[in-house]
Structure 1
Amino acid sequence: MQATLSLKGRALKYLAAREHSRSELMRKLAPHAEDRAEIERVLDDLQSRGFLSEERFVASVVHRRAAGHGTARIRQELSLKGITADQMRAPLEELQSSELARAHAVWARRFGSPATEPREQARQMRFLMARGFSGDVVRRVLKGELPESFDDAAPDTDDLP
């Protein structure tokens, strides 16, 4: 029974630091357990008590990564962490609506001005694609298309003192 308490303690320690997926915890606890069934029991208990939640994990990853990464990159990260397509569908669909605005913000922070040479344009394109933004969104950003909410986000200078 002592080993089970130790596994539960380790799992709670990991969960206290940040949200984890079930498969992540399984991998991290495997070296400390005698068999897989023991880990399954601990994770089932944590899940039934609400300490372990795939939905919270997905929301956490989306929240941490959304500002700097595209939907494709976040989807890939979630897949690598053992999240199924069904579990990530709704949060990623919500994220899709802000893809252009997020890509533009990332591009503006990194580059700030449109490329004048094809070589520089290719570099900017590679940068955004590596961040997980779709090809369509990358082309729109590099053409100078501003997101619809961009005008709304700009401060109204008439109200400044």
Structure 2
Amino acid sequence: MTAEPATADVVRDKAVALLAAREHSARELRQKLRKRYQDHDLIDEVIQQLVEAGYQSDARFTEARVRASLARGHGPMKIRALLREAGIDSHLVDAAIEEAAPDWRDLAREALLSKFGPSPASDQRETARRARFLASRGYPSSVIGDLLLG
């Protein structure tokens, strides 16, 4: 897809349409608009206007992404990685996670129960399988060890 020339109004309309569909970080919005339009300075200007008007907020995006990730059973490491990829500063991530105040052990237990049911691991191989599952979900080894070994 080739980038197309555009005016500020056209870029702003597209950005607002993207934000109406779901929250976007400034980086995500910039990347999507740059795929479509050639004038990168204009895109940056429009995004700054949207931030100042309150249409785009990295803090709001971070809170929404943390809530959604917690609902999916993601652990702290995965949540941080997803937000880092979206261009969110670590202090915003820390604040959003602290505000949500999840009990990582309970969330990991729920993820295990959802995936493997109530029966305990039958052998060491099954325990390792469950540990890999929790690690892939972004749980730290301390939580995994507490649940599976302790």
Give the TM-score normalised by the residue count of structure 1.
Answer: 0.84
* Contact 1:70 1:99 (8 Å CA) reproduced: yes
In the alignment, structure 1 residue 82 sits paired with structure 2 residue 104: no
In the alignment, structure 1 residue 106 sits paired with structure 2 residue 111: yes
Please give the per-residue CA displacement for 1:75-130, whole angstroms capped at 9, x wherever unaligned.
Answer: 00000000111221112234564111110111111112210211000000000110
Partner Cα separation in structure 1 for residue 24 and residue 11 of structure 2: 15
Give the TM-score normalised by the residue count of structure 2.
Answer: 0.89
Q: Which runs of 5+ in 1 are unaligned?
A: 145-161
* Contact 2:26 2:58 (8 Å CA) reproduced: yes
Let me know the Cα RMSD of the aligned residues. 1.7
What number of residue pairs does the alignment pair up? 144
Q: Which runs of 5+ in 2 are unaligned?
A: 1-5
After superposition, the Cα gap between the structure-2 partners of 1:126 and 1:133, relative to the gap in structure 1 and judged at 3 Å, is same
State the Cα distance separating 1:142 from its structure 2 match.
Answer: 1.4
Partner Cα separation in structure 2 for residue 40 and residue 100 of structure 1: 41
Q: Bigger CA drift: 92-101 or 12-21?
A: 92-101
The structure whose Rg is larger is 1
After superposition, the Cα gap between the structure-2 partners of 1:96 and 1:129, relative to the gap in structure 1 and judged at 3 Å, is farther
Sequence identity of aligned pairs in percent? 36
- Give the aligned residue type for 2:112: W
After superposition, the Cα gap between the structure-2 partners of 1:37 and 1:79, relative to the gap in structure 1 and judged at 3 Å, is same
